[in-house]
Amino acid sequence: MAYLELDGVAKQFGAQTVVDDFSLAVGKGEFISFLGPSGCGKTTTLQMIAGFLDPTRGAIRLEDKDLTAIHPAKRGLGIVFQSYALFPHMTAAENVAFGLEMRNVPRNELAERVRAALAMVGLAGYEERHPRRMSGGQQQRVALARALVIKPSVLLLDEPLSNLDAKLREEMQIELRQIQRTIGTTTILVTHDQNEAMSLSDRIVVMSQGKIEQIGTPQETYEKPVSAFVSQFLGKTNDFAGTIDRTAIPARLVAGSWSAPAPAGLSGPVTVSIRPERIGFGDEGLGAKIVTRIFQGNHWLFQCDSECGPAIVIRQNDGERQPAEGDAVRLTWRPEDMSVRARTVT
C-alpha cells in the first residue's frame, strides 16, 4: 500500500498551469527522483508536499491522512533546500539542534542525537563551525543532518547536489544513497541531472511541462522510454525514421538498408529509438560514414552520417580495432534493444 500518495495534484499560478494531473504512489522506504528540465514544475510539486504551496486541485496523503490539512510546521518532513537555507548565525550543531529544540527533546538526548547526526554525515568535529566558514559540500552535509535528525517521515531533497563540483557530487551521491539505505527514510529527490537520478533512485518520475511523462525504474525509463522526450532526456539516443511494411510476408520493419521482423501492433511510419552503446558495426545494416571519432578513455565515440540522418555510436575500448574517420560502415543492432513508436509524418 502506498505510503505517500499524490492524487491528481495540480498547481496554477494565475492562468498558468505549472503542475497538472500529478499522480504518484510512493512506497515506504522508497527512493524516488523527480527528473525533468528546468521550469517543468519539480520544485513546485515538492513544495506542495512540504506545504509551502497549496495545490489548486488534487489530494496529497501520507499514510492515508490528508497532508494538505496539516500545517507545514506539523508535517514532520525533512527538507534540504537547493540553497541549503542554513541558519548563518548558528553553528553547525545549533543548526542541527534547532528541529529537536522545537520538539522539546531533553538536553542530554538532544546533544547525543546532534552528535550522532553530524557523525553520520561525516562532520564529527565540526560542531562549533559556522556555515559561512564551511565548504559547499560541508554545508550540504549540515543541511542533510538537520533534515534527518528529526527522523522525518519523508525526506525531500531539492537539487541538493547541484552546487557541488563533479567529483564532490559523485561522492555525495554515494554517501546519500548509503545513508538512505541505512536508515530507510522514504526519500524524494528533485534533480535535472539524469545520471544522478539513475544512480540514486529506485524509481524515476520523468516530468515535462508540469506533466508526468513516465514513471519507472532507472532501467525501464532508460531502455523502454515511452516518449521521444524521455529517451532524449535520459542520455544520448538515436532516433531513426522507419516504416513498418505489413504487406510483406512476414511483416518487416525497415529503416534505410536495415530491416528486422516487424513488432506487433504498429504499422506505417515509426520512429526507431536505439541507444548509441547498443549499436555495433557489422557486415550488413544501416549504411553510414564515420564523420568523427573521439577517444574517451574507456570508450570510443563515433559520429556518423547515416542513411537516416546523423547517428552516434559508442563502442567499448576493448582492444579491438575500430573503424577510422571516413570509413564506410554498416550499423546493426538487436531488435530487442530498440524501442519503436508511431511517427506522425509532417
Partner 1 sequence: MSGLAEERNARAPWALTAPALMLFVGVLLVPLAMTVMLSFHDWGQYKGIEPVFILKNWQEIATDSYYAEMFWRTFRIAILTTLLTALLGAPEAYILNRMSGRWKSFFLLVILGPLLISVVARTLGWALLFGGNNGLVNKLLMSAGVIRFPIPFMFTETGMVVALAHVMMPFMVLSVWAALQRLDPQIENAAMSLGAGPVTIIRRIIMPQIMPGVLSGAIIVFSLSASAFATPAIIGGRRLKVAATLAYDEFLNTLNWPLGAAVATLLLVALVLIVVGSNALIERRYAEVFR
Contact 154/49 with Cβ under 8 angstroms? yes
* Helix count and strand count (H, E) for the chain: 8, 20
Total residues at interface with Mg ion (CB under 5 A): 1
150 binds, among Mg ion, ligand ATP, partner 1, none (CB under 5 to 8 A by kind): partner 1
- Nearest distance, CB of residue 102 and partner 1, angstroms: 4
280 binds, among partner 1, Mg ion, ligand ATP, none (CB under 5 to 8 A by kind): none
Burial category of 9 from C-beta neighbours within 10 Å (exposed 0-12, middle 13-18, buried 19 and up): buried
The residues of the shown chain that bind partner 1, judged by CB under 8 A, are: 50, 52, 72-79, 81-89, 98-99, 102-103, 130, 132-133, 146-147, 150
- Nearest distance, CB of residue 165 and partner 1, angstroms: 21
For the chain, first and last CA: distance in Å? 45
39 binds, among ligand ATP, partner 1, Mg ion, none (CB under 5 to 8 A by kind): ligand ATP
Grid cell, residue 156, equals: 525531500
Grid cell, residue 67, equals: 497532508
| Closer by beta carbon to ligand ATP, 157 or else 340 | 157
> For 298-329, b where at least 16 C-beta lie within 10 A, e where not — what string?
eebbbbbebbbeebbbbbeeeeeebbeeeeeb
Total residues at interface with ligand ATP (CB under 6 A): 11
| Closer by beta carbon to Mg ion, 45 or else 306 | 45
Footprint (CB under 6 A) of ligand ATP, residues 9-48: 13, 18, 36, 38-44
d(CA 37, CA 324): 36
Q: Does the protein bind ligand ATP through residue 75 (CB under 6 A)?
A: no
| Closer by beta carbon to partner 1, 72 or else 280 | 72
44 binds, among ligand ATP, Mg ion, partner 1, none (CB under 5 to 8 A by kind): ligand ATP
Residue nearest Mg ion (C-beta atom): 43
Q: Which one of 113, 146, 169, 192 is in contact with ligand ATP (CB under 6 A)?
A: 192
ω into 88 cis (within 30 of 0): no
DSSP type of residue 169: H
| Closer by beta carbon to partner 1, 111 or else 312 | 111
The candidate with the shortest Cα–Cα distance to 158, out of 263, 42, 56, 61, is 42
d(CA 96, CA 217): 33
| Closer by beta carbon to partner 1, 23 or else 83 | 83
Q: Which one of 43, 95, 271, 339 is in contact with Mg ion (CB under 5 A)?
A: 43
- Nearest distance, CB of residue 43 and ligand ATP, angstroms: 3
Contact 237/324 with Cβ under 8 angstroms? no
Neighbouring-strand partners of residue 97: none
Contacts with Mg ion by CB under 5 A lie at: 43
Q: Which residues bind ligand ATP (CB under 6 A)?
A: 13, 18, 36, 38-44, 192
